[in-house]
Structure 1
Amino acid sequence: MDKIFVQGMEFYGYHGAFPEENKLGQRFFADVTLEMDTREAGENDDLNKTVNYAEVYEAAKEVLEGEPVKLVETLTARLANILLERFQIIDACVVKVTKPDPPIPGHYDSVAVEIRREQKGG
């Protein structure tokens, strides 16, 4: 299966289990891998036969800058669901959401959740 990578997308959201996170906000990063057949797009140089990267970014922005949630798991699942719904051409996606500098005592670089989801019936 072919793969398209959209990596290093950065957003500012108000997600977290602590009230301070919901009030102050913080950065979140998203990396997306889309699994699909890109043969026809590549052979015909046709954007209509693939996924527009700008639209992937907009979907990620909608989720990560959208309605606050408590869990990174929720953000990750929401983004995967939206990608599968909006881009029927993809067979599956891998979504990773990273929360740098989580409010955890001690020195932690980041926390992240990565999931893989497939189209229903696929």
Structure 2
Amino acid sequence: MDKVFIRGLELEVIIGVYDWERHRKRPLVVNVEMGVDTRDAAASDHVRDAVDYAAVSDDIRAVADAMRPALLETLAEKMSRTLFDKYPISTLRLEIDKPGAVGGVKSVGIEIDRRREDYAVCGR
């Protein structure tokens, strides 16, 4: 399986469980790796046959901007579902870092691994 990735996508969002976190944007860093068959794009040399990195980045930003979740888990799951709905990907590894969330720690976060089958109609 081929991989398309975006690393270090920086976001500023309202997220957190504490009241003080609900009033100002906090930095997040997103890394995403998508399993996709790139042979059609390689043969045609057209972006229409590829997973467009800019479009994926824009969609991740749009999800983050539209939500104000308490948990990274909620945000990660919504991002994952959105990417599977919009792109011909087979697998997804999504990592969200929340720098500065815990004192004395460089970063905390979540990493999820999903497959297209995880979002069967009955699972929605």
Name the structure 1 match of 2:16. Answer: 16
Cα distance in 2 for residues equivalent to 1:50 and 1:114: 24
Give per-residue Cα distances to partners, 1:3-38, cap 9 Å, x unaligned: 001111111101000011110221011111010110
Cα distance in 2 for residues equivalent to 1:64 and 1:109: 22
Give per-residue Cα distances to partners, 1:10-67, cap 9 Å, x unaligned: 1110100001111022101111101011011112202111111111011110122222
The alignment yields a C-alpha RMSD, in angstroms, of 1.2
Q: How many residues align?
A: 118
Name the structure 1 match of 2:40. Answer: 40
TM-score between the two structures when normalised by the length of structure 1: 0.91
Name the structure 1 match of 2:104. Answer: 107
Name the structure 1 match of 2:96. Answer: 97
Cα distance in 2 for residues equivalent to 1:18 and 1:63: 21
Deviation at 1:117, TM superposition (A): 1.1
Deviation at 1:108, TM superposition (A): 1.1
Q: Which residue identity lines up with residue 45 of structure 1 in the other structure?
A: D
The structure where helix makes up a greater share of residues is 2
Name the structure 1 match of 2:54. Answer: 54
Q: Which residue identity lines up with residue 108 of structure 1 in the other structure?
A: V
Matched residue SS, 1:65: helix
Q: Which residue identity lines up with residue 98 of structure 2 in the other structure?
A: K
Cα distance in 2 for residues equivalent to 1:20 and 1:63: 22
Note the residue ranges of structure 2 that are not aligned, 5 or more in a row. Answer: none
Q: Which aligned runs of 4 or more in structure 1 are off by greater than 6 angstroms?
A: none
Cα distance in 2 for residues equivalent to 1:112 and 1:21: 16
